[in-house]
Amino acid sequence: MITFRELYNKIVEESWQEGASRAEEYGAEFDKSQLNCLFNPEKHPVAGEIAQCIQKSREGSVKISKDVLACMETLAVKQALAYVLIAPSFLGQFDEQVTPGMLRNAFRELGFDGMVEVAVFADILTIKEALEFDKNIITEKDYQLTSCCCPMWIGMIRRVYSDLMPHVPATVSPMIAAGRTVKILHPGAVTVFLGPCIAKKKEAREPDLKGAIDHVLTFQEAKELFELLRVDLTTYADREKENSSRAGRIYARAGGVSDAVQSTLQRLNPHRKITIKTRMADGVANCKEMMNELVQGKVAANFFEGMGCGGGCVGGPKVILDKEMAKINVNEYAGKAIYRTPIENPYVIELLHRLGFDTPESLLEDNEFFTRKF
């Protein structure tokens, strides 16, 4: 049985043969202490302004939306750690100048003990989706409906095309995977997801998923929070690097999941007889059209990605930034990733190891982190 570590070493070896300059980047940048945010977090006190804002809201002198208030109330009395989990579409949403490192420092000052980039969990689920494909797509008739990130797409398949559910791997979304991981590592921790999506609020309450995420705030609500607390994100230092791969970062835009799984599968099993043929639709009407064509046998593909919003999450209902600009930001950030796929990302391999997943087989088994029961 080959381990993820052995697969990683093989890929690094191959990259040496392709050309040293790229390969040198792999090990040179790897610093295990960058996983301390998850495994050995520093505790940060909650900012006093949070209690003041709650008080003003009770007195009626400030208007605060329901979910922002609930989040602040949880933070104000936090006994355990608190984490913010940020969706892959966050680039440039608050200000063009605001980097992931600046956001991380701002959240610390508010009283969060860590900011987790959900793209790292998109990375892990990309490996899982690629392994599912490798295991299940054996004949020309087989196909996979990608499962992980969009609750609108999954909800549509469950309601309208329920006969096709056996083609959907029982995988949670990156949001749920991140929340479950934090809760398992730090029982009692508070988890707050920030993203562009309203459907994620409902997803967090689904019977088989609830408990992973305490609060879901949209980017617009997060902006409200920063304004209430007079946080100027542009003033924070940018010291830390993020560890996600290109694959996890592009989940934010339509076609990203297909691209991520395709490139990872190519790394995992480059000589596969039946190759992956992807088809993607964005927006509910296009997703339905694609599914109807699939049911009628009109599509020559074996991997289907659906995103409920036009353009994917960068076109979500509660974004701040124009979706074309957001897509450019996401692609630029993806371009800066040192690692193209998660299987060549030492942080992902180390994270999987520390969570107890050392082999592809272990990641495919039913487990408390990454699988669900539809």
Of 53 and 309, the one with the shorter C-beta distance to ligand SF4 is: 309
Q: Which of 47, 68, 119, 150 binds ligand SF4 (CB under 6 A)?
A: 150
Closest CA to 105 of 84, 126, 121, 122: 84
Residue selected from 307, 348, 349, 351 as contacting ligand SF4 according to rule CB under 6 A: 307
In the complex with ligand SF4, the residue whose CB is nearer, 159 or 271, is 159
Cα–Cα dist 171/180, whole Å: 13
Q: Which is nearer to ligand SF4, 114 or 196 (CB)?
A: 196
209: contact with ligand SF4 by CB under 6 A: no
- Alpha carbon distance 240, 106 (integer Å): 13
> Which residues are within 8 A (CB) of 336 and not within 5 positions of it... i.e. 6 or more apart?
none
CA dist 202 and 5 (Å) reads 37
Determine if 85 is a binding residue for ligand SF4 (CB under 6 A): no
Pairing status of strand 82-86 against strand 114-117: parallel
**228 interacts with ligand SF4 by CB under 6 A:** no
Q: Which is nearer to ligand SF4, 190 or 309 (CB)?
A: 309
DSSP for 270-292 reads TT-SS---EEEEESHHHHHHHHH
Closer of 196 and 342 to ligand SF4 (Cβ): 196
In the 8-state DSSP scheme, what is residue 43?
P
Write down the least CB distance from residue 337 to ligand SF4, Å: 20
Q: Residues with Cβ < 8 Å from 248, sequence gap 6 or more?
A: 88, 117, 119, 120, 121, 122, 123, 126, 174, 260, 342
Contact partners, residue 374, CB within 8 Å, separation at least 6: 158, 165, 168, 170, 208
**199 near ligand SF4 (CB under 6 A):** yes
Does residue 313 touch ligand SF4 according to CB under 6 A? Answer: yes
Specify the residue, 169 or 316, whose C-beta has the smaller distance to ligand SF4.
Answer: 316
Residue 65 identity (one-letter amino acid): S
DSSP code at position 173? -
Only one of the segments 97-105, 123-131, 164-172, 310-318 lies at the binding site for ligand SF4 (rule: CB under 6 A); that segment is: 310-318
Residue 248 lies near ligand SF4 (rule: CB under 6 A)? no
Amino acid at 93: Q
Among 38, 69, 152, 276, indicate the residue that binds ligand SF4 (CB under 6 A).
Answer: 152
Binding-site size, ligand SF4 (CB under 6 A): 12
Stretch that binds ligand SF4, among 76-84, 209-217, 306-314, 321-329 (CB under 6 A): 306-314
91 touches ligand SF4 by CB under 6 A? no
Residue number with CB closer to ligand SF4 (152 or 192): 152
Q: Is 197 in the site for ligand SF4 (CB under 6 A)?
A: yes
Nearer to ligand SF4, 149 or 276 (CB): 149
The full length of the chain comes to 374
316 forms part of the interface with ligand SF4 (CB under 6 A): yes
Position 111 contacts ligand SF4 (CB under 6 A): no
- For CA atoms 347, 312, 257, 372, the dihedral sign is positive
Residue 108 beta carbon to ligand SF4: minimum distance, rounded to whole angstroms: 27
CA distances from residue 170 to 1, 45, 135, 263, 338 in whole angstroms, order as listed = 23, 38, 14, 21, 30
> Distance between CA 264 and CA 250 in Å, rounded?
13
Binding segment toward ligand SF4, per CB under 6 A, in 27-35, 48-56, 147-155, 206-214: 147-155
Please report, as ranges, the residues that interact with ligand SF4 according to CB under 6 A. Answer: 149-150, 152, 196-197, 199, 307-309, 312-313, 316
